[in-house]
Structure formats: structure tokens, C-alpha cells
Structure 1
Amino acid sequence: MLLESDARPRETLTFRLFNIFQRLVAIGALVSALHYWALLSGLYGGELWRFDLMPIHWRVAATALAVLFPVAAVGLWMPVSWGPVIWFCAAATEIAMHLGFPSLFGQNLVVAALHILVIAIYAALRGVLYVEKLRSRRPVRVDSL
């Protein structure tokens, strides 16, 4: 007989830390989304920082990121499998903007480094969760008793 408590996977400390980490990244994605929406609406300081005055490369990038970041924030907060994927697309876009095209978007090493750090932490936590999953599935040998 399978008890209800046996049907649910055990929540480990790593699993809880991973969920907290995803929520923190979701808050960061929401802040980034607000930044890009302020940029598009003209609330951001600067002479050319309104959508109709922006260069075309900034229009494309800011519009895409203004959509991607809030969707990623929702997906990371819930937590669903597509949340990290959408966030990774947005982060990779910002990394490419600031490291690949600094003459167009400016070289913002802090944003790129933060995204790379979050990707590394995410990969490490997923790796630990995978190892824990493998260990929990390992059959216990009783013939040695």
C-alpha cells in the first residue's frame, strides 16, 4: 500500500535552496522588465531614451527584453520548466548585447557577469539535484547483512 506521504518526492535542503534561488532570479527578472518598460515609455533619463527616438537596434532589443523578462519572472516564480528557459534566452540576449556588440549597446560588464554567475549557480544547483535524484534511486543491497 502506498501512503500519501510516500507519493510525494522528499524535499531536500538543496531543493528548497533551488526554489528560493529561482524566486530571487524572478525578482531580478521583474526589476529588469521594469527597467526596459521604463526605457520604452520614456521614463528613463536621457535624451534619446524614448521608443520613437531610439536607434533601431535598441528598439528591437529593448522590446524583446521588455517581453521576455516579465514572462521569465512569472515562470521562475511558479516554478515551471519554461521559466528558466525564457530567462536564459533573455540573459543570453543581454550578454550578447553588452559583450558582443559594445559599440552599439555599450559595454556593461556588471550585467553580463551577473547573468553568467546566475547561470553557473543554476547549473551547479541542477547538478546537485540530479546527483541527489540518482542517489535516491539507487537500490539498497540487503545481501550484505
Structure 2
Amino acid sequence: MPRIDSLAAPHQPPPAERRPRWRVMHDVYLRLLAVVHLVWSLWEWAAVIGLVPPVFGVEQRAILPRLGATYFFAALDPMAAVGLWFGSVWGTATWLVVTFARMIIHTGFAGLFGWTGPWTIVQAVSVVVYLALFFLAERADREARKTRRRRAPG
């Protein structure tokens, strides 16, 4: 039987420090984007299996590029949603690829896919908001690390 040498409490880990407000806002924004892309991907999969009309319409003109885009987004949107929910780097990268692909097909190939100016602007704003929150969260994390280093016993 082991012997107790001291009545002192065993080493306790330090109390969890509060996360910076900008980091929390960044994480909440990623979760909201994840929910949006998950719902969007469910709609695209419903279009793939024929439950709803495709997002791009049912015109017979240039049907193959439209189907290809629908399949592309149906495959990548759920992947982006899961990655964004977990806050992983690959999720953010997948989301950026999907978002820029949508903006490109609706502006660069507007004759083929149709131009959706307001929706393209919403997607561009979502990227700008993400970048702003990301940089503010990184700066807040850096400041929190500096504060911890100053308080840490030397």
C-alpha cells in the first residue's frame, strides 16, 4: 500500500482561461456557415435524385455543365460543412474553393449559369467577414499569449 507523505492536494491543472471574444465570434461564424452549407447541400442532393428542380433551372440549353456544377457542389458542400463545423483548416479551404467556384460560375459564366448579382455579393461579403474575424481572432489569441507569458512565474 502506498504511503501518503503529505496532506497537500495533488497538482491541479490551472483553471481554464476564457477564450478571447473574437475567437468565439469566429468559431460561431464558422458554425453558422456550416449549417448554411449543410442545408444547401441537402437541397443539391435533392436535385441530384430528382426531388426538387435543380438550382440552375431545367432549361435544356447547356444541361451538362449545369449538371456537372450541381454534382460538384453536392459533393463538396457537405465536406465543407463538416470541416467548418469542426473548425479545421481543410474545411475552411474547401469552403473557400466552393464559394469562389460559385462566384466564378455566376459571374464569369453568367451566360451559361445565369447571373445572380445579389447572391454573388452575399458570398463575397461572407468571405470578407470570415477574413476580418480570422485576423481579429488571431490578434486576440496573440495578445492572450503575451498576457499569459507576463503572468507566468519565471
Distance (whole Å) between structure 1 residues aligned to residue 133 and residue 114 of structure 2: 31
Q: Say whether 1:80 aligns with 2:88.
A: yes
Change (3 A) 1:92 1:9: farther
Q: Name the aligned partner's letter for residue 63 of structure 1.
A: Y
Q: Say whether 1:37 aligns with 2:45.
A: yes
Distance (whole Å) between structure 2 residues aligned to residue 4 and residue 83 of structure 1: 32
The structure 1 residue matched to 2:142, chosen from 109, 117, 134, is 134
Count of aligned pairs: 137
The structure 2 residue matched to 1:58, chosen from 66, 76, 92, is 66
Distance (whole Å) between structure 1 residues aligned to residue 128 and residue 75 of structure 2: 24
Q: Identify the residue that residue 7 of structure 2 maps to in structure 1.
A: none
Distance (whole Å) between structure 2 residues aligned to residue 64 and residue 9 of structure 1: 42
- Identity among equivalent positions (%) equals 25
1:85 offset after TM fit, Å?
A: 0.7
Q: Say whether 1:123 aligns with 2:125.
A: no
Q: Identify the residue that residue 14 of structure 2 maps to in structure 1.
A: 5
Q: Identify the residue that residue 143 of structure 1 maps to in structure 2.
A: none
Distance (whole Å) between structure 2 residues aligned to residue 54 and residue 34 of structure 1: 24
Gaps of 5+ in 2: 1-10
Q: Note the aligned Cα RMSD (angstroms).
A: 2.7
1:79 offset after TM fit, Å?
A: 1.9
1:136 offset after TM fit, Å?
A: 3.1
Q: Identify which of structures 1 and 2 has the higher relative contact order when contacts are C-alpha pairs closer than 8 Å and 6+ apart.
A: 2
Larger Rg: 2
- What SS class does the counterpart of residue 4 from structure 1 fall into? coil
1:10 offset after TM fit, Å?
A: 4.3
Q: Say whether 1:94 aligns with 2:102.
A: yes
1:3 offset after TM fit, Å?
A: 5.9
Q: Name the aligned partner's letter for residue 127 of structure 1.
A: F
2:62–2:112 CA contact under 8 A, matched in 1: no
Gaps of 5+ in 1: 141-145
Distance (whole Å) between structure 2 residues aligned to residue 101 and residue 32 of structure 1: 21
Distance (whole Å) between structure 2 residues aligned to residue 4 and residue 118 of structure 1: 39
Q: Say whether 1:28 aligns with 2:40.
A: no
